[in-house]
Structure 1
Amino acid sequence: MTHINVLDPGASPLDYYGFELRRLREAANLTQRQLGDVLNYTGSLVGQIETARKVPTVEFSERVDAALVTGGLFSRLVELVLRSQLPAWFRQVAELEVRAAEICTFQTHLVHGLLQAPAYARAVLGVLDQNDLDDRTAVRLARQRILEKGESPVFWIVLSEGVLCQEIGGRAAMREQLARLLSFETDPRINIQVLPFAAGAHPGTQGSFTLFRFAADPAIVYTEGYGSGHPSANPDTVKDCSLRYDHLRAAALSLKDSAELIRRVMEERYGEQQLA
């Protein structure tokens, strides 16, 4: 007889998701393979998700909701599942992203995770660690859903010009990434400025940081180290970083000139002729 792994639905959001998926699939008198055929996924994948060995995606969840007529149960659950898969030290930051009315970030080396394209995100996460890379990439990209909601935060990013030139994931990945940045050019809630090399010394030389501002709560400054995050609501720290950010925005190129620079770098460094 085939051994069936019985999950404890209270163990984690992932276990609860798998438990409910099996329960509702069996209630519909479908095998894993039959449900997989309906969803256009393999029965093996269905089984892995039911036994909490694989993290479900948003798309998978939406298809399950449609196939099993669940009223959106799995689409709601998957957000909890994906958030629970973030590194423990980063979960507080993910909560801040969800709650914030405005996010202002300065990035010296990388495109911020909320704006990363799939291949770029995979390359960043895969440095020195290839374990569960598909799942970790899906979890990072799922955070970006906050920018698609009706009451999404205002997002303002100042990128060092070096971020555009640091080739991560190869030329095709960089072209995809810069194209993604340009896709927000007409979105008034997502603003991208580039701090050019010509700016010289600037108030962000100490490193990247992010300001979270809320409708009713005090602002929080977040900085990051190796495997750890450092949020602070200290009023003096918030005041200092807010001033630094204002000066960074003033020193950066305008929104229009930033888009033109991104477009030029995309074509000159990562254009189709270079990809051949």
Structure 2
Amino acid sequence: MPKLNQRGSPRFGEAGIIPFVLVLIVSLVLVGGGVTVYSQKEVILKNLPKPNGLQLPAVFFKPTPKPGEITTKPPKAELAKESVNYETKGTEVEGLPNINMYPPEGWNQLAPKDSDVLIFEAPDKDYVWVGKSNLWIQARISVRITKSTGESLAEAVSQYKNLFKEQIPTVYLFENKDLIGGVEAYYLEADHDLRDIRRATIEEELIKSGKNFSQADLTKLLEVEMIKSATYFLQKNGYDVVIQGRASAIAWDKRGEEIKKSIMSLIFIGK
């Protein structure tokens, strides 16, 4: 990946952690026209060859592999050979924290959007197949910067956790304090269950297509809507910095380590 010096002028909305959570929740659930922030989803109802991707039946557990299923270890997590910068010197948002980080190897950098100053997306999709139909999601990493409203790091994290659980069924699996780029960070790892939220939308798409399907087929497809996330919270120069990676739980064995390794590569440039 070529080294990029990102000097765009993203649009910054309301300050604080609550607007960030609301944007994240909406963007996880929205579908239609391919317009999403944190993931892309579609139902393919054509007789297309299956891709060479993960086709694991498990969601939040590791099944006993059937004969002929994939039994090899996940690929080693590798980062891109060149890093990516986000710098604001000389722009209308000068003063925001300047960032350098390494995306996972082969991942694509997307244009900044709203307060997401860096966005990276996996080059391939993670699928669940039922017959000739599939549902897919692409893993993403984003770095979001919003003006702090004065809460401590612990208070901001507490607000995030409570608000998220009110909106989407969420289980926090692990939390810990850490250091990223020499700055104190708070880490959360969580499961988000979007199956009930997305069920009506996917069922409607299947009906419109004229595809014959059972409720068991729909339930199987919706396994891809169980999301895992790794989120780091930091505060720098009066701003809340939230770095999050997310992927379908069916692909976390493949995605999780490269996501966390990329996030831990982040450093702040200058003061």
1 or 2, which has the higher strand percentage?
2
Normalising by structure 1, report the TM-score: 0.21
- Structure with higher Rg: it is 1
1 or 2, which has the higher helix percentage?
1
